[in-house]
Structure 1
Amino acid sequence: MQYVVKRTVQALITLLFVVTISFFLYRLLPGGPVEAMQQQLVQEAMADGGQVNVQRINQMVAVRTGIRPDEPLYQQYLGYMESVVLHQDFGTSIWKNEPVFELLFTAMPWSVFISIYGLLLGFGVNVLLGAVMAYHEGGRFDRAMSVVATITSSVPYYVVAILLLAFLAFEAGLFPTGGRYNPATTPGFNLPFMASVVYHAILPIATGFVVGFGTQALAMRGNSVRVLGEEYIRVAQLRGLGEFRIATRYVTRNAILPLYTSLMVGISSIFSSSIIMEQLYSYPGVGWYTFGALEHRDYPLLMGVFLFFTIVTLLGVLVADLTYGLIDPRANTGDTESY
């Protein structure tokens, strides 16, 4: 219990530190969120032929960003933290003119859908492929798949996305070129809509699969080869245990342990890679909104997205820390740590 509390407190302190640093960096940048919105409101007022009311503009800035420009910087920070922590108010998007929390809350399930499925599919295939490569170490299959894994792990994900779009979507017309579902379908728990969602997600999921393919397969192969050389594997063989039981209960179970933490941390990398991937596929998820926020200098939305990525990363690391002892009884999760 003490270990759980310690890790949780460390994650919360890290989150507070990251939010603090990001807030002051955004505020101190030239043309920060307050200045950008002030300029926009002034231009709108002048375009309408009205007079520029500084107090009124500051009030509108405070409502949209959660930051009061007429207050000292430390008071702005305290007010922002109060809005985020107590009221889950991340301000209003300059680009979409909608609450940031609602935008991210709506887009997050779509990003989770394509990212998690691509990650889990890639992880499962990599584990199986790496184990088979280890059992055929030095053979044709091992050499051929090692070359393939090395090549795929070196290709950037956006190159894969462009190739899939070019050949499978535009040229062959087998898949849609963008969107989350067919606008002609009615959103809800009905077969046409769900089939359309899956159909539109095939290429983004395939891209996410390729992102994690190769590196983990080679890592699983190396771990499996190391485990195959352990004494307890020879003892199991001398006891007459079947090859399938040795492969699943002894080799795979022990070789997969070092990949577990990388799987949890990999969730955050998949989300970060979705920024360009969702833009290429015109898939309105968190990454798509992030790219739009960058183009429109939408600082409130950027701050909300940054918090989202930070929380996902910390949760992945925290879950890995808290559950590693469950999948590996040799790991000590008491007052001391084992490496």
Structure 2
Amino acid sequence: MRVIARRCLFYLGTAWAAITLNFLIPRVMPGDPASVIITQLAQRQPITPETEQAIRALFGQPEGNIAQQYVDYLGELSQGNLGLSTTYYPQPVWEVISTGLPWTLTLVGVTTVIAFLLGTGLGILSGSRPGRLADSVMAPLATLLGSMPYFWVGTLALLAFSVTVPWFPSQNGADLSLDPGFSLEFIASAIHHAVLPALTIIVSSIGGWFLGMRNMMITTIAEDYVQLAEAKGLSRWRVMMSYAARNAMLPQVAGLAISLGSVVGGSLLAEAVFAYPGVGYLFYQAVVSLDYPLMQALFLTISLSVLAANFVADSIYVLLDPRTREA
């Protein structure tokens, strides 16, 4: 418990640092970002004094007291207020993010778990018999897949299965003529639209999971306790699964926790290629349109989610590996 308590303090301090950096970055930028945002909003429709005051609190005013600005910023943040999106005005940025979050969590979350299960399972099979035919074929193939960038795989998938053979749509998360909901028609359309982005993410990431598990298996099967289990006459399957794979899995579990934390940020390149309406595509649009409030909110959301995932991974390590409790 003392180890977990120390980790809690560490991650709370890191979260405070991320929040503080999110406060400072707009204020050290050249010019006055708050005035730029207010001007952009005013071009569309008049803004209220309350809205202008909130923007000043979030993005600074050169003549203001920095300490008071920091207090005001924390107050706005505690109320879940990070301003209005200039791209989707007058929507608050949290509402904009909440529209993309379900798409990203479903697509990237599910594909991350699938890639983890496939890569880890094949890594156990390959690493338990290094140098055999299966390992000789799968290891180079996994290296090749791991070296392929998302956008390249996504572009090939679009050309092959959307342009050359029009089996799948090339953009959007579902048919725009359907109302979002839990109807069978909408769910079927969402699955149909998600096939190519999901395939892109799985193909691009499965190689890393495979190679990580394979290399850990090769290292683990040389350990004394595995050799002892084999000397006792236990079946090879039991030795590989109950002794070798169980211990080799620890880095994979930690990696999965961190990857799931990064899911909140979406798969920027994959979502941009397919114009998939997730958080990654929102980030891309925010950068292109210079939507500072949305960019700042996304930076903060992604940073805190990755920190939370790292904390979960550290906690899992402490529970699964007693040696880490001494650290």
Structure 1 length-normalised TM? 0.87
Unaligned residue ranges in structure 1 (runs of 5+): 49-55
Matches for 1:26-65 after TM superposition, within 5 Å: 26-40=26-40, 59-64=50-55
* In structure 2, distance between residues paired with 1:272 and 1:211: 17
Give the structure 2 partner of residue 242 of structure 1. 235
Q: Which moved more, 1:179-188 or 1:251-260?
A: 179-188
- Assess if the C-alpha contact under 8 Å between 1:149 and 1:214 holds in 2: yes
Q: Is the 8 A contact 2:104 2:266 kept in 1?
A: no
Secondary structure of the residue aligned to 1:74 is helix
Structure 2: runs of 5+ lacking an equivalent: none
Which residue among 124, 133, 147 is the counterpart of 1:131?
124
Distance 1:232 1:138 in 2: 22
Contact 2:262 2:302 in 1 (8 A): no
Which of 96, 101, 105 is the matching residue for 1:108? 101
1:274 and 2:267 aligned = yes
State the shift of 1:243 in Å.
2.3
In the other structure, the counterpart of 1:10 is 10
Deviates more, 1:14-23 or 1:313-322: 14-23
For 1:210-225, list aligned pairs within 5 A. Answer: 210-225=203-218
Q: Distance in 2 between matches of 1:157 and 1:76?
A: 40
User: In the aligned structure 2, how far is the partner of 1:131 from the partner of 1:20?
Assistant: 43
What is the CA deviation profile of residues 59-99 of structure 1, one whole-angstrom value per residue up to 9, with x for unaligned ones? Answer: 543245643636323322221111112x1111111111111
Return the alpha-carbon distance in structure 1 between the equivalents of residues 129 and 236 of structure 2.
13
CA pair 248-325 structure 1, distance change in 2 beyond 3 A: same
Of residues 278, 287, 290 in structure 2, which corresponds to 1:285?
278
Which structure 2 residues correspond to residues 242-321 of structure 1 after superposition, within 5 A? 242-272=235-265, 274-321=267-314
1:227 aligns with 2:209: no
Give secondary structure in 2 for the equivalent of 1:284: coil
Aligned residues: 324
- Pairwise CA RMSD: 2.3
1:19 aligns with 2:19: yes
Report sequence identity in percent: 29
Deviation at 1:183, TM superposition (A): 2.6
The 8 Å contact of residues 37 and 61 in structure 1, kept in 2 or not, is answered as no
Q: Any conservation in 1 of the 2:38–2:55 contact (CA below 8 Å)?
A: no
Which shows bigger deviation, 281-290 or 186-195?
A: 186-195
Q: Assess, with a 3 A threshold, how the Cα gap between structure 1 residues 178 and 219 changes in structure 2: closer, same or farther.
A: same
CA shift in 2, pair 1:42/1:122, >3 Å: closer
Determine if contact 1:261/1:320 at 8 Å carries over to the other structure.
yes
SS class of match (2:201)? helix
Range with bigger deviation, 87-96 or 34-43 = 34-43
TM-score normalised per structure 2: 0.90
> Which amino acid is 2:81 matched to?
D
Aligned mates of 2:277, 2:143 — CA distance in 1: 32
CA contact (8 A) 1:324 1:331 kept: no
Instruction: Choose the corresponding residue for 1:92, options 54, 77, 84.
Output: 84
